Structure 1
Amino acid sequence: MTGLLVFSATNGYRHDSIPAGVAALRDLGAEAGFDVDATEDPTYFTTRSLRGYDAVVFLSSSGTVFDDEQRAALERFVRDGGGYVGIHAASTTEYDWPFYGELAGARFDRHPPVQPGVITVEDHDHPATAHLPARWEWTDEWYDFRSDPRPHVRVLLSVDEDSYEGGRMGPGHPIAWCHRVGSGRCFYTALGHTAEAFDEPVFRAHLHGGITSVLPG
């Protein structure tokens, strides 16, 4: 059975949506045959423990959460073919560890208030986006990033800054993407601020596609 480790430790801002996210990922696991373990304990991140998982899911984690040995175990896991999924505030994690920035693909910078916006599907040829309309109306916390990941990743979704107030990245503002690090597949989505998002079938399908895309094989 496929094993997923969901990690939601916070050493910074903590999202109220984390319990809803864990519940949704457990539901997806039950439906799709994934064995889902959820923890906020960084000591799970050892080479031995991670051998039991096919992918790790960072669910709105924040701040510095690992020591050097735990960092080394995660890096080895991904470079050797383990999958990485980052959801929403996962991009606010481990700012002083360059490898984690490589995993997430970009670092969170700022956001305006939660509000409706319009998402453009840039790439329908991916399990996380194949079910979506070309333009997807959605309410979320629209993240700006410290740098544009586009040169280094395959952008799947962007948000139209003309559809909401306060965006500062300009045209083609990326909010979901995929890429590889070593032998590992990575997927990140900036969506998922609200607890209600995790009850939406369209968003659950987005997460399910992102997870399946990083699994080895």
Structure 2
Amino acid sequence: MAWTVFSLFIALVFIGGFLIYKVKYGFPVRFETLIPEIEFPKERKIKVLLFSKTTGFRHDASIDAGKKAFSEMAVKNDWFLYETEAGGVFNEEQLPKFDVVIFNNSTGRVLNDEQQQLLENYVEEGGMLLGIHGAGDDSHRWDWYEENLIGAKFSHHPIKNQIQETDLFLEPDISPSLKKGLPDTWAHADEWYVFFSNPRIQGFRIVYTIDGEKIDPDGNFFLIRSKNFGMGKDHPVAWYKNIVKGKTFYTSIGHDASAWEHDAFIQMLENAVKWSVE
């Protein structure tokens, strides 16, 4: 009996460790290098690359809802949208033709070294990178990405009270084009990411915040007992920055499909895509 209990405990520790490793680091199976065939429009219109590859935790419902939402936005605004989960599009010829690259809940290591460098160059030479929710966790292992898209290191998200509803507050002093059509406040339930520092410190402009003192940030889980802190009252959930000649925009909103049911969330992302060509 004792041996059975011990074996079960060891199995649970192994499974728990496996899951934690996958969430934090991902398990890349392969890096796609095949260059896809893309027929870019000849006329001038915003060109969007929607990238949804994951090697870490996969937010299936939100990813699918995001694909649908961006497809509808593309039709509404006459954008060119190319959607893929294969990294081959990150090549010298095709990547510069896009105005914005969207990491749609992409987690884990999704690009090889060369592709990462191409994306860094793309942004610094005038392109834009937009990240949604899981794109901001700590599974990417990419310093440039963390510094220039996130502006802070991810710590955890609440575990006991994983999904919590709270009010979001619009920052008054942001780019008018990013502010267009956004409500001053709106309520939403999400998995609120906690970062070790505030991206304001690194010069990022905040779009929306929540009151971090009105949620339970406790992320303690299994043998991890040090994740019981939050970010305090000023808890940003969407922000942006000019990076050399380019731009980045990130929001930690979007854990599940419910986020895509909010007009404010859709409008914020639509504004961000339009901002890419300003």
Q: Same fold (TM over 0.5)?
A: yes
Match of 1:189 in 2: 251
* Pair 1:33 & 2:83 matched: no
* Pair 1:110 & 2:159 matched: no
Using the TM superposition, give the Cα deviation of residue 142 of structure 1 relative to its aligned residue in structure 2, in angstroms.
Answer: 0.7
Within 5 A, what are the aligned runs for 1:11-160?
A: 11-16=55-60, 17-92=62-137, 95-105=140-150, 106-112=152-158, 113-123=162-172, 125-126=174-175, 127-152=177-202, 153-160=204-211
Match of 2:263 in 1: 201
Mapped contact 2:183–2:264 kept (Cα < 8 A)? no
Match of 1:165 in 2: 216
Mapped contact 2:196–2:231 kept (Cα < 8 A)? no
User: Counterpart of 2:81 in 1: which secondary structure?
Assistant: strand
Structure 2 residues not aligned, in runs of 5+: 1-44, 218-228
User: Counterpart of 1:193 in 2: which secondary structure?
Assistant: coil
Whole-angstrom distance in 1 between the partners of 2:53 and 2:98: 18
Using the TM superposition, give the Cα deviation of residue 36 of structure 1 relative to its aligned residue in structure 2, in angstroms.
Answer: 0.8
Aligned length: 216
- Would you tell me which structure has more strand in proportion to its own residues? 1
TM-score, normalisation: structure 2: 0.73
Mapped contact 2:103–2:131 kept (Cα < 8 A)? yes
Whole-angstrom distance in 2 between the partners of 1:33 and 1:41: 24
Q: CA separation of 1:144/1:84 partners in 2, compared to 1, >3 Å: closer, same or farther?
A: same
Deviates more, 1:86-95 or 1:171-180: 86-95
Using the TM superposition, give the Cα deviation of residue 93 of structure 1 relative to its aligned residue in structure 2, in angstroms.
Answer: 6.1
TM-score, normalisation: structure 1: 0.92
Match of 2:29 in 1: none
Whole-angstrom distance in 1 between the partners of 2:101 and 2:143: 18
Structure 1 residues not aligned, in runs of 5+: none
Match of 1:216 in 2: 277
User: Counterpart of 2:231 in 1: which secondary structure?
Assistant: coil
Using the TM superposition, give the Cα deviation of residue 172 of structure 1 relative to its aligned residue in structure 2, in angstroms.
Answer: 0.8
Whole-angstrom distance in 1 between the partners of 2:141 and 2:255: 23
Mapped contact 2:174–2:206 kept (Cα < 8 A)? no
Whole-angstrom distance in 1 between the partners of 2:109 and 2:75: 31
Q: Which has the larger radius of gyration?
A: 2
Whole-angstrom distance in 2 between the partners of 1:95 and 1:194: 20
Across the aligned residues of Structure 1 and Structure 2, the Cα RMSD in angstroms comes to: 1.7
Q: What letter corresponds to residue 134 of structure 1 in structure 2?
A: D
Structure with the greater relative contact order (CA < 8 A, sep ≥ 6): 1 or 2? 1
- Would you tell me which structure has more helix in proportion to its own residues? 2
Whole-angstrom distance in 1 between the partners of 2:92 and 2:139: 19
Superposed CA offset, 1:63-93 (max 9, x none): 1111111011101111110111111111126
